[in-house]
Amino acid sequence: MRMRKTKNENSFYGLGDVYKRQVFMGTPDFSVEPLKELVKAGHDVSLVLTREDKKRNRGELSPTPVKELALSLNIPVLTPSKMKDEALIERLKSENADFFVVVAYGKILPKVILDIPKFGCINIHASLLPEYRGAAPIQWSIVDGKEKTGITTMLMDEGLDTGDILKQYEIEIDKKETGGSLFDKLAVLGGEAIVDTIANFESIVPTPQGEATTEYAKMISKSMGEIDFNKPAVEIERLIRGMNPWPSAYTRYQGKVLKIWEAEVAENISELPNINLSENYGKIYSFNSRIFIICNQSILEVLSLQLEGKKRMSAKDFLMGREIEQGYKLG
């Protein structure tokens, strides 16, 4: 990695013609907004790397969201299967890039690639590092009940999300935030963050992260959405929001999968008849067109749900078409 240019070495300072040529690496929807914003800000994104096309219905190949955008912007795209390929390395060197900008690319960059750009590889990570290193920081910040999160831009090293911090951009997590809504907010913020970070790169002093302050934000799997009613309602409500829209929080009712899309902790539980908190956790009841589930010393009110084979609907609409088996134990 070369040293940064100083004011005396170039007639432009800050953004100008310095730091304007980038190679972009990203794959999913989250990576789209940063690429858009770089191009909008006048950066010369000379090359895009993304994951290989995936087979969809009927075996048809489907490009990644980043590839679709790059092609629409007439930016050359590569989908390498091996990151240590000599031809790929030579191509990346030939781009003469100031930075490689990496956003949810999905591949680990070897040191030989990290060392290519003039001023380093910048990663956009959807947490306030060193919190939530890993693949799914957005969902876990909601599940864990965090009140704030944000975007971190960092200089990449050979570790997983361990590089020196450049800048951080903080936002509050709304009490009704879902994994989907927070994803959208942070994608937009990520686009703003990368443009701002590069524009101010000359004045930024990279800061070492230190030790991780939360558990590793492991990748979300479908099984993680299964609800354990032995937990308090407040934790289950956060799981429901964090797993929305995928994989969704779910249980089983009369042999069918029951997805719970929206819920809240019931406050005035003394008003609910025939419900005893000492009963087995996971029992479901309906009362006055409302649905309640017993959790650990608390009660969850279900606001929106979806039974297997049916569409998503409110609790009231759900009860108009069927009666709940009072006291049925879910799971």
Q: What is the pLDDT of residues 174-204, one digit of tens each?
A: 999 999 999 999 999 999 999 999 999 999 9
The pLDDT assigned to 267 comes to 86
Q: Which domains does the chain have, with CATH numbers?
A: 7-203 (3.40.50.170), 222-329 (3.10.25.10)
Task: Tell the residue number behind the tokens 């489907």, with chain if given.
Answer: 62
In this structure, what is the dihedral angle of CA atoms 312, 316, 318, 322, given to the nearest 10 degrees? Answer: 180
**In this predicted structure, what is the pLDDT of residue 271?**
66
Q: Which residues of the chain have pLDDT under 70?
A: 1-17, 270-271, 273-274, 279
